[in-house]
Chain A
């Protein structure tokens, strides 16, 4: 018995060390970026163009670019993701087709991001002749985000009690009427939470936009959907590996990393607050 307790004590210490190591990694990452990046952040950094071969000035075009491309991602991924989730959860029967669709979704979420990039090059840049631009990059990211938004939306739909649907149907509503009036109003906030989380991941992605529209340096903001653009993640990559004076621009790279992380953090926070409020409404 004594030996068992000793083993248990040692075992639990091991588990605590694991947790500690994971926490430590997170703390080091955040501390390093925040402490070294905060010095670069000021109004000028956020609102001006890069200057002198990107050794000075700000990152405005990269912020705008990331913002634009994320909007296009959302336009593609949100409606299609929600639609697919509605089909799977409300309409589809448990048959072979349904299983193939689910298998496809799981596989799509495992397709490497660079492969989405190659797909985007073939489909949007070449076949559809959009060229390398905001639109191509946004659509590529949108396809990549699709499996995440589907999964999140379906989760939200599953949380709506069955009785809500049955109530509407019993009163003579059609299937779509019951979905529209008795399911979606309760599911949409949850769907949005998951979708925003997915979009925040897309905003930080680099590989899919490498060849579909992102540019090294542009002295102006994108003028239309068919212009090239700068993006925060790619800008960080350039500043930390491809720049001719890497050590000189290190503070700017840290600043870019901090802005990128802050952007994603704000999006996540927004999603979490949405979820929290939703829970409160439900329990009231």
Chain B
């Protein structure tokens, strides 16, 4: 148990905070699974269009580890398998059948999970298709089942606008969460760390050490938690998982069937006010209907994630495997007359060159996706480190990454990071450098080359 105060950080003040009410949104007919969500995965399809599948049937498996399977979230027929570049299956669409047949797994209780060995837990999770919920650092990829992680980090914190608040998600599922923690505790010889935001009313749980994190964004980022509790050295592995996914694992273990629902937050300035809240949705189910009625604006960008970190998705997306929140904002293609000299009162900024940074940080802004400038050669300003609590020299790390210098990148601490940790660096950079992209490329190079 420890309390951490994160001093460096910045909160992007954007309107659209979700209310903490949860509305049921189930009974959808179209479902989808996105193999492209699993970065680096080479899937081998087990189904084709027209097949009928039971709830829990294997849709595809990992070519590199055939024990790692991915199962169908619903019972019905495969409507289409849409291929992307190089014939990669981007999405598998499933039409739900009226009558449900499903595959069941063994059930456990909070105590009987404790009797299992590590292998049994790993095999059960791999076989049920929920193993990929567990990721590992460095590289933030699907956890290697054979790794020996020094700790497991559960992220129950939130700091970016607007990450789902786990205290809303958890209500009523405390037992499943505890069972999930007990299963995770089997995976490591070290500790399970439960990291919460300060002030959230999440109780403490057995088998896990609770920590609270106070401070502005990125105090809720997993990298910050790891850095403060048990920093990654070259050669170390830690498992990470978000708190809601622990609940899903717990539900699998207690009910013996694949979890049906999860809770997502829908937020952002382009969501109508009455729809800014939490929804209990079926995993894999289409969100088209919900998004259709809740979005407003001419050209809206929907993000699977929050305003700082997440992928653009289409407005007919289905509930993905990862993630607990959606953010919608307007595409802002407006151009401002002589932006280089205007007082800058009406453009959001963290920087004192714009008056809005002094006079406008009190209220929330209706932000759009404008770049507010064009790309220029990178000049070291030191601002990238201004909101970086990870003790990383961002400018030098970027230089090393641009120079493909893997040794230098590792020395400067890239293994402790994930591209999401550089979202604020990208945000403040006046030269509009793609910091996250450069870091991501650097991490990929190290992964290929080996540490």
A and B are interacting partners:
no
